[in-house]
Protein backbone atom coordinates (compact mmCIF):
# COMPACT_ATOMS: atom_id res chain seq x y z
CA UNK A 1 0.00 0.00 0.00
CA UNK A 2 1.26 3.46 -0.90
CA UNK A 3 -0.07 6.64 0.64
CA UNK A 4 -0.96 10.25 -0.04
CA UNK A 5 0.38 12.83 2.41
CA UNK A 6 0.43 16.61 2.63
CA UNK A 7 2.92 18.10 5.11
CA UNK A 8 2.98 21.85 5.75
CA UNK A 9 4.78 24.24 8.11
CA UNK A 10 7.80 21.96 7.81
CA UNK A 11 11.38 22.95 8.63
CA UNK A 12 12.94 20.80 5.90
CA UNK A 13 16.59 19.70 5.79
CA UNK A 14 17.75 17.40 3.00
CA UNK A 15 20.73 16.55 0.84
CA UNK A 16 19.94 16.94 -2.85
CA UNK A 17 20.74 14.67 -5.77
CA UNK A 18 20.63 11.11 -7.00
CA UNK A 19 24.22 10.10 -6.32
CA UNK A 20 26.54 10.12 -3.30
CA UNK A 21 27.72 13.45 -1.91
CA UNK A 22 31.51 13.54 -1.72
CA UNK A 23 33.91 15.46 0.52
CA UNK A 24 32.86 18.98 1.53
CA UNK A 25 29.55 18.58 -0.33
CA UNK A 26 28.39 16.22 2.40
CA UNK A 27 27.86 19.24 4.65
CA UNK A 28 25.52 21.04 2.23
CA UNK A 29 21.88 20.43 3.07
CA UNK A 30 19.02 22.22 1.36
CA UNK A 31 17.09 24.07 4.08
CA UNK A 32 13.48 25.16 3.52
CA UNK A 33 12.31 26.81 6.76
CA UNK A 34 8.60 26.91 5.90
CA UNK A 35 8.13 24.11 3.47
CA UNK A 36 5.43 21.89 2.10
CA UNK A 37 5.76 18.33 0.87
CA UNK A 38 3.16 16.69 -1.34
CA UNK A 39 3.13 12.90 -1.59
CA UNK A 40 0.95 11.05 -4.06
CA UNK A 41 0.86 7.26 -4.30
CA UNK A 42 3.98 6.93 -2.18
CA UNK A 43 6.06 9.30 -4.31
CA UNK A 44 7.08 12.91 -3.59
CA UNK A 45 5.40 15.13 -6.17
CA UNK A 46 6.18 18.55 -4.71
CA UNK A 47 8.62 19.98 -2.21
CA UNK A 48 9.24 23.66 -1.76
CA UNK A 49 8.51 26.88 0.05
CA UNK A 50 4.92 27.25 1.19
CA UNK A 51 4.61 30.74 -0.29
CA UNK A 52 2.13 30.45 -3.09
CA UNK A 53 1.25 26.84 -2.37
CA UNK A 54 -2.47 26.34 -1.70
CA UNK A 55 -2.58 25.57 2.04
CA UNK A 56 -5.81 23.73 2.68
CA UNK A 57 -6.99 20.33 3.85
CA UNK A 58 -6.54 17.86 1.01
CA UNK A 59 -9.20 15.15 0.80
CA UNK A 60 -7.95 11.57 0.72
CA UNK A 61 -4.60 12.81 2.01
CA UNK A 62 -3.05 12.52 5.46
CA UNK A 63 -2.64 16.22 6.31
CA UNK A 64 0.20 16.93 8.76
CA UNK A 65 1.00 20.27 10.37
CA UNK A 66 4.73 20.03 11.12
CA UNK A 67 4.98 23.39 12.91
CA UNK A 68 7.94 23.40 15.26
CA UNK A 69 9.42 20.22 13.80
CA UNK A 70 12.36 19.44 11.53
CA UNK A 71 11.64 17.16 8.57
CA UNK A 72 14.44 15.03 7.08
CA UNK A 73 14.64 12.00 4.74
CA UNK A 74 14.16 8.50 6.16
CA UNK A 75 17.35 6.84 7.37
CA UNK A 76 19.08 4.19 5.25
CA UNK A 77 20.93 1.62 7.36
CA UNK A 78 23.17 0.19 4.65
CA UNK A 79 25.04 -2.48 6.67
CA UNK A 80 23.33 -4.95 9.00
CA UNK A 81 23.33 -8.66 9.80
CA UNK A 82 19.75 -8.72 11.06
CA UNK A 83 18.98 -12.36 10.31
CA UNK A 84 20.55 -14.72 12.82
CA UNK A 85 19.84 -17.60 15.17
CA UNK A 86 20.70 -17.51 18.89
CA UNK A 87 22.68 -14.93 20.85
CA UNK A 88 26.26 -14.64 22.15
CA UNK A 89 26.14 -12.80 25.49
CA UNK A 90 28.89 -15.04 26.94
CA UNK A 91 31.32 -13.74 24.30
CA UNK A 92 30.47 -10.19 25.24
CA UNK A 93 31.47 -11.09 28.80
CA UNK A 94 34.77 -12.64 27.62
CA UNK A 95 35.56 -9.50 25.65
CA UNK A 96 34.86 -7.38 28.73
CA UNK A 97 37.53 -9.45 30.50
CA UNK A 98 40.01 -8.63 27.73
CA UNK A 99 39.74 -11.44 25.18
CA UNK A 100 39.82 -10.24 21.57
CA UNK A 101 37.11 -10.68 18.94
CA UNK A 102 39.48 -12.61 16.66
CA UNK A 103 40.76 -14.94 19.39
CA UNK A 104 37.16 -15.96 20.23
CA UNK A 105 36.57 -16.57 16.53
CA UNK A 106 39.75 -18.62 16.18
CA UNK A 107 38.78 -20.99 18.96
CA UNK A 108 35.52 -21.83 17.24
CA UNK A 109 33.21 -19.21 18.73
CA UNK A 110 32.21 -15.95 17.10
CA UNK A 111 30.53 -16.20 13.72
CA UNK A 112 30.63 -20.04 13.82
CA UNK A 113 28.57 -20.05 16.99
CA UNK A 114 25.81 -18.04 15.27
CA UNK A 115 26.16 -20.33 12.22
CA UNK A 116 25.40 -23.36 14.41
CA UNK A 117 22.22 -21.73 15.75
CA UNK A 118 21.14 -20.36 12.36
CA UNK A 119 21.47 -23.75 10.66
CA UNK A 120 18.95 -25.17 13.15
CA UNK A 121 16.26 -22.53 12.51
CA UNK A 122 13.53 -22.50 9.87
CA UNK A 123 13.21 -19.56 7.47
CA UNK A 124 9.97 -18.53 9.20
CA UNK A 125 11.66 -18.54 12.62
CA UNK A 126 14.54 -16.44 11.29
CA UNK A 127 12.11 -14.00 9.66
CA UNK A 128 9.99 -13.64 12.81
CA UNK A 129 13.05 -12.95 14.93
CA UNK A 130 14.34 -10.40 12.42
CA UNK A 131 10.95 -8.67 12.30
CA UNK A 132 11.41 -7.71 15.93
CA UNK A 133 14.63 -5.89 15.02
CA UNK A 134 12.99 -4.34 11.98
CA UNK A 135 10.20 -2.95 14.18
CA UNK A 136 12.80 -1.35 16.47
CA UNK A 137 14.71 0.12 13.51
CA UNK A 138 11.55 1.58 12.07
CA UNK A 139 10.87 3.31 15.41
CA UNK A 140 14.22 5.07 15.02
CA UNK A 141 13.39 6.25 11.51
CA UNK A 142 14.97 3.59 9.29
CA UNK A 143 13.03 3.31 6.01
CA UNK A 144 15.58 1.22 4.10
CA UNK A 145 17.77 -1.50 5.57
CA UNK A 146 20.38 -3.76 4.04
CA UNK A 147 20.50 -7.30 5.46
CA UNK A 148 23.26 -9.82 4.94
CA UNK A 149 23.29 -13.60 4.91
CA UNK A 150 26.55 -15.12 6.17
CA UNK A 151 25.38 -17.27 9.09
CA UNK A 152 24.54 -20.26 6.90
CA UNK A 153 27.89 -20.90 5.22
CA UNK A 154 26.62 -23.91 3.32
CA UNK A 155 24.55 -23.69 0.18
CA UNK A 156 21.28 -24.79 1.73
CA UNK A 157 21.55 -22.57 4.80
CA UNK A 158 22.63 -19.50 2.82
CA UNK A 159 19.59 -20.00 0.57
CA UNK A 160 17.47 -20.38 3.71
CA UNK A 161 18.65 -16.97 4.94
CA UNK A 162 17.74 -15.44 1.58
CA UNK A 163 14.36 -17.14 1.87
CA UNK A 164 13.87 -15.53 5.30
CA UNK A 165 14.62 -12.14 3.74
CA UNK A 166 12.13 -12.85 0.97
CA UNK A 167 9.45 -13.66 3.56
CA UNK A 168 10.15 -10.34 5.28
CA UNK A 169 10.14 -8.37 2.03
CA UNK A 170 6.81 -9.84 1.00
CA UNK A 171 5.06 -9.23 4.34
CA UNK A 172 2.03 -7.08 3.87
CA UNK A 173 2.55 -3.58 5.26
CA UNK A 174 6.24 -4.20 5.89
CA UNK A 175 7.61 -1.12 7.61
CA UNK A 176 10.68 -0.57 5.49
CA UNK A 177 12.55 -1.55 2.34
CA UNK A 178 14.86 -4.57 2.73
CA UNK A 179 17.92 -5.02 0.50
CA UNK A 180 19.43 -8.54 0.56
CA UNK A 181 23.19 -9.09 0.42
CA UNK A 182 24.91 -12.48 0.02
CA UNK A 183 27.74 -12.88 2.54
CA UNK A 184 28.64 -16.55 2.03
CA UNK A 185 32.27 -15.43 2.44
CA UNK A 186 31.73 -14.33 6.04
CA UNK A 187 33.98 -17.04 7.54
CA UNK A 188 35.33 -20.45 6.68
CA UNK A 189 32.87 -22.87 8.35
CA UNK A 190 34.25 -25.47 10.77
CA UNK A 191 33.76 -28.38 8.34
CA UNK A 192 36.21 -26.63 5.96
CA UNK A 193 38.80 -25.82 8.65
CA UNK A 194 42.28 -25.56 7.09
CA UNK A 195 40.62 -25.98 3.67
CA UNK A 196 39.87 -22.36 2.79
CA UNK A 197 40.57 -22.93 -0.92
CA UNK A 198 37.91 -25.62 -1.11
CA UNK A 199 35.35 -23.39 0.59
CA UNK A 200 36.21 -20.57 -1.83
CA UNK A 201 35.65 -23.05 -4.69
CA UNK A 202 32.28 -24.04 -3.24
CA UNK A 203 31.16 -20.41 -3.10
CA UNK A 204 32.29 -19.78 -6.65
CA UNK A 205 30.99 -22.98 -8.26
CA UNK A 206 27.83 -23.67 -6.30
CA UNK A 207 26.61 -20.68 -4.33
CA UNK A 208 27.15 -17.68 -6.63
CA UNK A 209 25.10 -19.14 -9.53
CA UNK A 210 22.22 -19.87 -7.12
CA UNK A 211 22.19 -16.56 -5.26
CA UNK A 212 23.14 -14.05 -7.94
CA UNK A 213 19.55 -13.19 -8.82
CA UNK A 214 18.28 -13.32 -5.23
CA UNK A 215 20.75 -10.91 -3.62
CA UNK A 216 21.53 -7.34 -4.63
CA UNK A 217 25.15 -7.48 -3.44
CA UNK A 218 28.06 -9.86 -2.88
CA UNK A 219 29.93 -9.10 0.35
CA UNK A 220 33.04 -10.63 1.95
CA UNK A 221 34.83 -10.48 5.32
CA UNK A 222 38.25 -9.69 3.88
CA UNK A 223 40.48 -10.10 6.91
CA UNK A 224 43.73 -11.66 8.09
CA UNK A 225 43.16 -15.35 8.90
CA UNK A 226 39.68 -15.23 7.32
CA UNK A 227 39.73 -14.39 3.59
CA UNK A 228 43.10 -12.85 2.80
CA UNK A 229 43.56 -10.52 -0.16
CA UNK A 230 44.22 -13.23 -2.79
CA UNK A 231 41.15 -15.28 -1.80
CA UNK A 232 39.10 -12.10 -1.59
CA UNK A 233 40.16 -11.03 -5.08
CA UNK A 234 39.25 -14.45 -6.55
CA UNK A 235 35.82 -14.38 -4.92
CA UNK A 236 35.09 -10.79 -5.89
CA UNK A 237 36.13 -11.43 -9.48
CA UNK A 238 33.83 -14.44 -9.71
CA UNK A 239 30.92 -12.49 -8.23
CA UNK A 240 31.54 -9.56 -10.56
CA UNK A 241 31.65 -11.89 -13.57
CA UNK A 242 28.31 -13.29 -12.46
CA UNK A 243 26.95 -9.73 -12.60
CA UNK A 244 26.81 -9.05 -8.85
CA UNK A 245 27.62 -5.69 -7.30
CA UNK A 246 30.31 -5.76 -4.65
CA UNK A 247 30.79 -4.78 -1.01
CA UNK A 248 33.65 -5.60 1.36
CA UNK A 249 34.18 -5.77 5.11
CA UNK A 250 37.58 -4.10 4.75
CA UNK A 251 40.46 -3.30 7.11
CA UNK A 252 38.27 -3.91 10.16
CA UNK A 253 40.71 -5.64 12.50
CA UNK A 254 44.09 -5.10 10.79
CA UNK A 255 45.40 -3.08 7.83
CA UNK A 256 45.20 -5.64 5.03
CA UNK A 257 44.63 -3.64 1.84
CA UNK A 258 40.88 -4.20 1.71
CA UNK A 259 40.21 -0.56 0.78
CA UNK A 260 42.71 -0.79 -2.10
CA UNK A 261 41.06 -4.02 -3.26
CA UNK A 262 37.60 -2.40 -3.12
CA UNK A 263 38.87 0.39 -5.39
CA UNK A 264 40.58 -2.08 -7.73
CA UNK A 265 37.41 -4.17 -8.06
CA UNK A 266 35.05 -1.20 -8.45
CA UNK A 267 33.06 -2.11 -5.34
CA UNK A 268 30.01 0.00 -4.51
CA UNK A 269 31.19 0.31 -0.90
CA UNK A 270 33.91 -0.78 1.50
CA UNK A 271 32.78 -0.98 5.11
CA UNK A 272 34.32 -0.72 8.60
CA UNK A 273 37.77 0.67 7.59
CA UNK A 274 38.96 1.15 11.19
CA UNK A 275 42.53 0.42 10.07
CA UNK A 276 42.44 1.76 6.51
CA UNK A 277 45.72 3.01 4.98
CA UNK A 278 46.14 6.51 3.52
CA UNK A 279 46.57 4.98 0.06
CA UNK A 280 43.36 3.02 0.57
CA UNK A 281 41.50 6.23 1.40
CA UNK A 282 42.90 7.96 -1.71
CA UNK A 283 42.07 5.03 -4.00
CA UNK A 284 38.51 4.78 -2.69
CA UNK A 285 37.97 8.53 -3.18
CA UNK A 286 39.33 8.34 -6.73
CA UNK A 287 37.19 5.36 -7.70
CA UNK A 288 34.02 6.61 -6.00
CA UNK A 289 33.76 3.70 -3.55
CA UNK A 290 31.46 4.73 -0.68
CA UNK A 291 33.18 4.46 2.74
CA UNK A 292 30.57 2.96 5.05
CA UNK A 293 31.65 3.64 8.63
CA UNK A 294 30.20 1.75 11.58
CA UNK A 295 31.00 3.61 14.80
CA UNK A 296 28.91 1.31 17.02
CA UNK A 297 31.27 -1.58 16.19
CA UNK A 298 34.37 0.44 17.08
CA UNK A 299 32.64 1.45 20.32
CA UNK A 300 31.63 -2.12 21.18
CA UNK A 301 35.06 -3.59 20.35
CA UNK A 302 36.95 -0.72 22.03
CA UNK A 303 38.75 -0.10 18.76
CA UNK A 304 39.77 3.28 17.34
CA UNK A 305 37.06 4.96 15.26
CA UNK A 306 37.38 5.04 11.47
CA UNK A 307 39.03 8.21 10.12
CA UNK A 308 35.89 9.93 8.82
CA UNK A 309 37.56 13.33 8.46
CA UNK A 310 40.40 11.90 6.38
CA UNK A 311 37.87 10.35 4.01
CA UNK A 312 35.92 13.59 3.74
CA UNK A 313 39.09 15.65 3.23
CA UNK A 314 40.18 13.22 0.50
CA UNK A 315 36.90 13.90 -1.30
CA UNK A 316 35.34 10.49 -0.58
CA UNK A 317 31.68 9.79 0.15
CA UNK A 318 31.05 8.61 3.72
CA UNK A 319 27.97 6.63 4.74
CA UNK A 320 27.11 5.62 8.31
CA UNK A 321 25.40 2.38 9.30
CA UNK A 322 24.80 0.33 12.45
CA UNK A 323 26.30 -3.15 11.66
CA UNK A 324 23.61 -4.72 13.89
CA UNK A 325 24.76 -8.31 14.51
CA UNK A 326 24.81 -10.75 17.46
CA UNK A 327 28.62 -10.63 17.83
CA UNK A 328 30.84 -7.62 17.29
CA UNK A 329 28.02 -5.08 17.60
CA UNK A 330 24.69 -6.05 19.12
CA UNK A 331 23.06 -2.67 18.61
CA UNK A 332 21.01 -1.08 15.90
CA UNK A 333 20.92 2.32 17.51
CA UNK A 334 20.73 5.09 14.93
CA UNK A 335 20.70 7.78 17.68
CA UNK A 336 23.94 6.47 19.20
CA UNK A 337 25.50 6.13 15.73
CA UNK A 338 24.83 9.83 15.16
CA UNK A 339 26.23 10.82 18.56
CA UNK A 340 29.42 8.76 18.16
CA UNK A 341 29.99 10.09 14.63
CA UNK A 342 29.75 13.67 15.88
CA UNK A 343 31.57 13.26 19.20
CA UNK A 344 34.38 10.87 18.24
CA UNK A 345 34.69 11.02 14.46
CA UNK A 346 34.46 14.79 14.08
CA UNK A 347 31.51 14.73 11.69
CA UNK A 348 29.07 17.63 11.64
CA UNK A 349 25.38 16.99 12.11
CA UNK A 350 24.77 17.91 8.45
CA UNK A 351 27.38 15.36 7.36
CA UNK A 352 25.85 12.64 9.54
CA UNK A 353 22.43 13.28 7.98
CA UNK A 354 23.86 12.98 4.46
CA UNK A 355 25.78 9.85 5.55
CA UNK A 356 22.61 8.21 6.90
CA UNK A 357 20.34 9.20 4.03
CA UNK A 358 21.59 9.94 0.50
CA UNK A 359 25.03 8.36 0.95
CA UNK A 360 23.51 5.30 2.64
CA UNK A 361 21.22 5.01 -0.36
CA UNK A 362 24.25 5.36 -2.67
CA UNK A 363 25.97 2.56 -0.75
CA UNK A 364 23.00 0.41 -1.83
CA UNK A 365 22.99 1.80 -5.36
CA UNK A 366 19.55 3.30 -4.65
CA UNK A 367 20.32 7.03 -4.54
CA UNK A 368 17.94 7.67 -7.42
CA UNK A 369 15.06 6.10 -5.44
CA UNK A 370 15.41 7.34 -1.87
CA UNK A 371 17.73 9.26 0.49
CA UNK A 372 16.51 12.82 -0.13
CA UNK A 373 13.31 14.87 -0.15
CA UNK A 374 12.90 15.60 -3.84
CA UNK A 375 10.33 15.24 -6.58
CA UNK A 376 10.13 11.72 -7.93
CA UNK A 377 11.76 10.05 -4.92
CA UNK A 378 10.04 7.53 -2.69
CA UNK A 379 8.24 9.35 0.11
CA UNK A 380 10.45 8.17 2.98
CA UNK A 381 10.27 11.01 5.50
CA UNK A 382 10.91 11.67 9.18
CA UNK A 383 9.39 14.35 11.37
CA UNK A 384 11.52 15.00 14.44
CA UNK A 385 10.36 15.97 17.93
CA UNK A 386 12.37 19.17 17.66
CA UNK A 387 12.61 22.08 15.21
CA UNK A 388 16.37 21.81 14.74
CA UNK A 389 18.60 18.98 13.48
CA UNK A 390 21.27 20.03 16.01
CA UNK A 391 19.20 18.14 18.61
CA UNK A 392 20.04 14.79 16.94
CA UNK A 393 23.58 14.31 18.34
CA UNK A 394 22.99 16.50 21.39
CA UNK A 395 20.20 14.28 22.81
CA UNK A 396 22.74 11.50 23.08
CA UNK A 397 21.58 8.02 22.17
CA UNK A 398 17.92 9.06 22.42
CA UNK A 399 15.32 8.81 19.71
CA UNK A 400 14.23 12.19 18.30
CA UNK A 401 12.00 10.71 15.58
CA UNK A 402 8.34 11.49 16.15
CA UNK A 403 6.79 10.44 12.84
CA UNK A 404 8.00 7.91 10.27
CA UNK A 405 6.62 7.88 6.75
CA UNK A 406 7.60 5.06 4.38
CA UNK A 407 6.33 5.12 0.80
CA UNK A 408 3.83 7.73 1.90
CA UNK A 409 2.41 5.50 4.65
CA UNK A 410 2.55 6.80 8.21
CA UNK A 411 4.33 3.96 10.02
CA UNK A 412 4.76 5.74 13.32
CA UNK A 413 3.36 9.02 14.57
CA UNK A 414 0.34 10.99 15.52
CA UNK A 415 -1.96 10.03 12.71
O1 LIG B 1 30.61 -6.68 10.56
N2 LIG B 1 33.36 -8.77 10.98
C3 LIG B 1 32.60 -9.53 10.45
N4 LIG B 1 31.28 -9.52 10.50
C5 LIG B 1 30.51 -8.81 11.45
C6 LIG B 1 30.44 -9.48 12.76
C7 LIG B 1 29.70 -10.75 12.69
C8 LIG B 1 29.62 -11.48 14.00
O9 LIG B 1 30.46 -11.33 14.90
O10 LIG B 1 28.66 -12.26 14.11
C11 LIG B 1 30.93 -7.36 11.50
O12 LIG B 1 31.56 -6.88 12.46
FE1 LIG C 1 29.27 -6.34 9.25
**For the CA of 329, the nearest atom of ligand 1:** 12
Residue limits of CATH 3.20.20.140 in the chain: 76-362
> How far apart (Å, rounded) are the C-alpha atoms in residues 352 and 88?
30
Helix (H) or strand (E) holding 223: none
In order of 19, 244, 373, the CA distances from 369 in angstroms are 10, 19, 10
Measured on CA atoms in the order 233, 236, 238, 241, is the torsion positive or negative?
negative
Pocket test for ligand 1, best of 92, 103, 186, 326 (most atoms within 8 A of CB): 186
> How far apart (Å, rounded) are the C-alpha atoms in residues 57 and 44?
18
CA nearest ligand 1 atom 3, residue: 221
Residue limits of CATH 2.30.40.10 in the chain: 5-73+372-412
Helix (H) or strand (E) holding 151: none
- Check pocket membership of 307 for ligand 1, CB cut-off 6 A: no
**For the CA of 84, the nearest atom of ligand 1:** 10
Q: Which ligand sits nearest to residue 274's alpha carbon?
A: 1
User: 5-73+372-412 belongs to which homologous superfamily?
Assistant: Urease, subunit C, domain 1 (2.30.40.10)
Helix (H) or strand (E) holding 275: none
Strands (E), 325-395: 381-384
Query: pLDDT tens string for the chain (415 positions)?
Result: 789 999 999 999 999 999 999 999 999 999 999 999 999 999 999 999 999 899 899 999 999 999 999 999 999 999 999 999 999 999 999 999 999 999 999 998 999 999 999 999 999 999 999 999 999 999 999 999 999 999 999 999 999 999 999 999 999 999 999 999 999 999 999 999 999 999 999 999 999 999 999 999 999 999 999 999 999 999 999 999 999 999 999 999 999 999 999 999 999 999 999 999 999 999 999 999 999 999 999 999 999 999 999 999 999 999 999 999 999 999 999 999 999 999 999 999 999 999 999 999 999 999 999 999 999 999 999 999 999 999 999 999 999 999 999 999 999 996 4
> How far apart (Å, rounded) are the C-alpha atoms in residues 413 and 415?
6
Pocket test for ligand 1, best of 80, 81, 232 (most atoms within 8 A of CB): 81
In order of 54, 183, 399, the CA distances from 142 in angstroms are 31, 22, 12
Q: Please, what is the Cα angle at 97 between 94 and 101, to 5 degrees?
A: 50
| pTM assigned to the model | 0.98
Residue 281 contacts residue 314 (beta carbons within 8 Å): yes
- Check pocket membership of 327 for ligand 1, CB cut-off 6 A: yes
> How far apart (Å, rounded) are the C-alpha atoms in residues 120 and 105?
20
Domain 76-362 matching CATH 3.20.20.140: the answer reads yes
Amino acid sequence: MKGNVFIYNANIFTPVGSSAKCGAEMGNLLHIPRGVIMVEDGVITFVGDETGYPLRVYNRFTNIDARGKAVIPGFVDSHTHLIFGGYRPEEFGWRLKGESYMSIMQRGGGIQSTVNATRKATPEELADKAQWYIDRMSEMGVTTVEAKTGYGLDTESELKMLRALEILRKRENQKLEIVPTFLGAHAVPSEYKERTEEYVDLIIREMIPLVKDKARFFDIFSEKNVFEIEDSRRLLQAAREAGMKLKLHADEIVTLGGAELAAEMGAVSADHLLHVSDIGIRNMAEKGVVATLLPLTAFALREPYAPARKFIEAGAAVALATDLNPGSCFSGSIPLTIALACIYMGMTVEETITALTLNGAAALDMANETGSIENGKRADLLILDFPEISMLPYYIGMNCVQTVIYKGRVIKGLQ
